[in-house]
């Protein structure tokens, strides 16, 4: 029989374990208390309950034991203890790696098929590198994965990581096709890891100011959103994967138009879309002079250019609201990156990635009253940094993301695919309601 002191010590340890469980897993999924990579089980090691050991069960079925004072490498489930792996070691891979390190996580691994990219990454971040992503996913030091590969490879990497119980941040777009995006969403729904899409412009200062006004119901019903993401000359490396449809899934629309579309849907709180009309154009691909040699992707090894360089689209919601979209890598008009919101009570205009938002109120008849809201220094943090911090916090606590969800990414993907279909068929495209789409059977994934 335990003594009073032993009972008190045991009670204290159990309370400590309960506290850790609360810190480790803030939600349940499939009936189990889950952390970001594993679920937590604590049991007494000896007959009298001393000491306590903690067991972490990975989604793959394996586990490891550790004593309570060596809780998962760092002592607590905190961002500072997360090991992050980057798949795709180009410019975006380096940007995310630098950002998560600045935020306190540790870049422990990288994967890329190019030996030169691996060597550069190793030198920059002192991380283990792999030629194949599955080796990175199997690395026990990796808790969370950031995917920055060409769009076609998002699915196999994200699904493998989620099935291993890891958290995943996928650079936009979610995938290169709707079916591929749906398979990612399905994998995320049954994984203890969290999943997010890299729509960093949602976190820009201008958008956050718009959010604050919308949350106050300043605009009333938002009836129309007009969004432009237009470059005058800026094709990201002719012959790179960006201009190869088999790797990217499209051109300007799926590369930068995806940001404009996401912000439009976000401004309307992701309504049900029923009809899409769009037209794509490819007029500048034969001219190397309009490529952007400094853009991510760089010049390619061939002259492949089978994608769009500009697009116009019109989107209608189930309740009669509308979205108009212009996106271009290259076109003969002034560049613009702006969003115009028209509400029943007020409107707004802001630049994508900027730090101000102009609210347009109708006061005295015939006179426009403008309210310029300047962003404070505290809110001037780059959007991608805010995004990556939220991802790390979700990965560390096992919580679901509050924004940039894969379900939202899937809705964006559906509209993109409908725009391409409309352009190809020269007709409007009706979208299946989301609830009905969920019942449609998924096709088998592509062999990569």
41, pLDDT greater than 60:
no
pLDDT digits (tens, 9 = 90+) for 220-246: 999 999 999 999 988 887 778 999 999
User: For the residues 185-213, what does the mean pLDDT come to?
Assistant: 95
- The set of residues, in sequence order, having a beta carbon less than 8 Å from that of 22 and lying 6+ positions away, is none
Please identify, among 57, 73, 89, the residue that sits at the C-terminal boundary of a domain.
73
What's the whole-number average pLDDT of the chain?
A: 82
User: For the residues 129-153, what does the mean pLDDT come to?
Assistant: 98
Angle CA(212)–CA(414)–CA(309) in degrees, nearest 5?
Answer: 90
37, pLDDT greater than 80:
no
Query: Helix, strand or coil for residue 98?
Result: helix
pLDDT band per the 50, 70, 90 thresholds, residue 69:
very low
What is the residue range of 43's domain?
Answer: 4-73
Selected residue with higher pLDDT from 2 and 362 = 362
Q: Specify burial of residue 436 (Cβ count, 10 A radius: 0-12, 13-18, 19+).
A: exposed
Is 244 among the domain residues? yes
Distance CA 94, CA 174 (A): 19
pLDDT of residue 435: 83
Is 448 among the domain residues? no
pLDDT of residue 304: 85
pLDDT of residue 158: 99
Q: Which long-range contacts (CB under 8 A, 24 or more apart) does 290-293 make?
A: 290/233, 290/234, 290/235, 290/329, 290/330, 291/235, 291/236, 291/237, 291/238, 292/231, 292/233, 292/234, 292/235, 292/236, 292/237, 293/237
Is 155 among the domain residues? no
pLDDT of residue 47: 35
174, pLDDT greater than 80:
yes
pLDDT digits (tens, 9 = 90+) for 275-287: 999 999 998 876 6
Is 145 among the domain residues? no
pLDDT band per the 50, 70, 90 thresholds, residue 310:
very high
DSSP string, 294-343: TSTT-S-SS----S-SEEEEEEEETTS-EEEEEEESB-SS--EEEEEEEE
Is 349 among the domain residues? yes
Angle CA(334)–CA(337)–CA(89) in degrees, nearest 5?
Answer: 115
Query: Helix, strand or coil for residue 442?
Result: coil
pLDDT digits (tens, 9 = 90+) for 10-33: 445 445 544 544 444 433 333 333
pLDDT of residue 29: 38
Pairing mode of beta strands 52-58, 63-67:
antiparallel
pLDDT of residue 239: 74
Please identify, among 14, 44, 73, the residue that sits at the C-terminal boundary of a domain.
73
Selected residue with higher pLDDT from 362 and 120 = 120
pLDDT of residue 24: 43
Q: Which of 133, 140, 182 shows the shortest CA–CA distance to 165?
A: 140
Strands (DSSP E) found in 206-259: 222-230
- Whether the CB-CB separation of 255 and 236 falls below 8 Å is answered with yes
pLDDT of residue 438: 74
Number of structural domains the chain divides into: 2
pLDDT digits (tens, 9 = 90+) for 70-106: 222 222 346 888 999 999 999 999 999 999 999 999 9
pLDDT digits (tens, 9 = 90+) for 81-90: 899 999 999 9
Task: Say which CATH number the domain at 252 has.
Answer: 3.30.360.10
247, pLDDT greater than 90:
yes
pLDDT band per the 50, 70, 90 thresholds, residue 379:
low
User: For the residues 112-135, what does the mean pLDDT come to?
Assistant: 98
User: For the residues 350-373, what does the mean pLDDT come to?
Assistant: 72
Distance CA 317, CA 274 (A): 5
Is 293 among the domain residues? yes
Is 144 among the domain residues? no
pLDDT of residue 68: 25
Please identify, among 44, 73, 102, the residue that sits at the C-terminal boundary of a domain.
73
Q: Which residue has the tokens 């979205």?
A: 323
Is 415 among the domain residues? yes
pLDDT digits (tens, 9 = 90+) for 293-303: 555 555 555 67
pLDDT of residue 364: 52
Please tell me the least confidently modeled range out of 72-86, 100-114, 322-336.
72-86
pLDDT of residue 80: 83
Cα 428 to Cα 313, 316, 415, 423, distances in angstroms: 10, 11, 12, 9
């Amino acid at each position: 029989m335990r003594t009073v002191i032993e009972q008190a010590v045991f009670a204290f340890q159990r309370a400590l374990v309960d506290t850790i469980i609360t810190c480790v897993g803030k939600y349940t999924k499939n009936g189990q208390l889950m952390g970001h990579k594993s679920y937590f089980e604590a049991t007494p090691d000896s007959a009298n309950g001393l000491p306590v050991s903690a067991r972490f069960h990975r989604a793959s079925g394996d586990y490891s034991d550790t004593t309570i004072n060596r809780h998962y490498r760092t002592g607590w489930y905190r961002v500072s203890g997360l090991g992050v792996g980057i798949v795709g070691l180009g410019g975006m891979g380096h940007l995310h790696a630098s950002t998560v390190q600045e935020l306190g996580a540790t870049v422990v691994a990288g994967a890329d098929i190019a030996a030169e990219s691996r060597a550069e990454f190793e030198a920059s971040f002192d991380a283990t590198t792999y030629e194949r992503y599955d080796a990175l996913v199997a690395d026990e030091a990796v808790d969370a994965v950031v995917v920055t590969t060409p769009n076609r490879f998002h699915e196999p990497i994200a699904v493998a990581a989620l099935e291993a119980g890891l958290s995943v941040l996928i650079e936009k777009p979610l995938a290169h096709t709707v079916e591929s995006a749906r398979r990612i969403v399905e994998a995320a729904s049954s994984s203890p890891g969290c999943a997010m899409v890299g729509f960093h412009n949602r976190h820009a200062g201008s958008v956050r100011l718009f959010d604050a006004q919308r949350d106050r119901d300043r605009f009333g019903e938002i009836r129309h959103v007009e969004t432009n993401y237009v470059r005058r000359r800026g094709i990201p490396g002719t012959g790179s994967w960006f201009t190869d449809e088999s790797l990217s899934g499209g051109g300007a629309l799926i590369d930068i138009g995806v940001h404009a579309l996401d912000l439009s849907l976000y401004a309307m709180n992701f309504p049900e879309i029923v009809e899409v009309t769009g037209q794509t154009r490819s007029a500048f691909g034969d001219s190397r002079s309009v490529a952007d040699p400094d853009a991510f992707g760089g010049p390619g090894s061939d002259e492949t250019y089978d994608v769009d360089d500009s697009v116009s689209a019109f989107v209608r919601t189930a309740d009669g609201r509308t979205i108009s979209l212009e996106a271009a890598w290259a076109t003969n008009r002034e560049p613009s990156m702006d969003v115009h919101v028209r509400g029943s009570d007020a409107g707004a205009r802001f630049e994508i990635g900027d730090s101000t938002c102009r609210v347009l109120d109708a006061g005295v008849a015939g006179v426009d009253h403008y309210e310029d809201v300047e962003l404070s220094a505290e809110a001037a943090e780059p959007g991608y940094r805010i995004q990556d911090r939220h991802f790390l916090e979700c990965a560390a606590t096992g919580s679901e993301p509050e924004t940039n969800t894969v379900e939202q990414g899937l809705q964006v993907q559906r509209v993109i695919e409908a725009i391409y279909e409309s352009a190809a068929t020269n007709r409007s495209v009706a979208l299946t309601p989301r609830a009905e789409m969920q019942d449609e059977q998924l096709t088998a994934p592509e062999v990569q």
